[in-house]
Amino acid sequence: QVQLVESGGGSVQAGGSLRLSCAASGYTPGGYCMGWFRQAPGKEREGVGVSNMGGGTTYYADSVKGRFTISQDNAKNTLYLQMNGLKPEDTAMYYCAATYSYCYMLLPPEKFRSWGQGTQVTVSS
């Protein structure tokens, strides 16, 4: 049974930083892709960035390029999302997701089979 557990959300002022973590368990090491998605009230879930575990390529949404960075600790099966220069429009519930598919681009949410419970990020102006 695959489980994803996120942590690290919170409230910050515009321009601030937060780091989210997603610990995965139950996955066979290597050969899978993990990503971060977000959903604001009244909006569809959208991709933030995805990364092929084991040191593969990372893809970002245009809206976060240059501000957000995804990193991974393969020994811990953990994915991180470092968010700098946060803006009020980044306010959303952030979800971690994983799939055994290879991510050759920022794949849409429906391509991911496993999801975490979400962690709230609120950015005030």
Alpha-carbon gap, residue 32 to 115, rounded angstroms: 14
Confidence of residue 1 (pLDDT cuts 50, 70, 90): confident
Mean pLDDT check: name the lowest of 58-62, 99-103, 109-113. Answer: 99-103
Alpha-carbon gap, residue 86 to 67, rounded angstroms: 8
Alpha-carbon gap, residue 35 to 106, rounded angstroms: 9
Confidence of residue 97 (pLDDT cuts 50, 70, 90): very high
DSSP H/E element including 5:
strand 3-7
pLDDT at 53: 85
Q: What is the average per-residue pLDDT within 57-65? A: 96
Token pair of 121 as six digits:
């990020």
pLDDT at 120: 98
| H-only helix segments in 17-75 | none
Token pair of 67 as six digits:
């501000």
What pLDDT digit, counting tens, does each position of 17-55 carry? 999 999 998 876 667 899 999 999 999 999 999 999 887
C-alpha closest to that of 19 among 28, 7, 27, 11 = 7
Three-state secondary structure string covering 10-31: EEEECCCCEEEEEEEECCCCCC
Q: What is the mean pLDDT of the chain?
A: 93
Whether the predicted pLDDT of 94 surpasses 70: yes
pLDDT at 74: 84
Whether the predicted pLDDT of 82 surpasses 80: yes
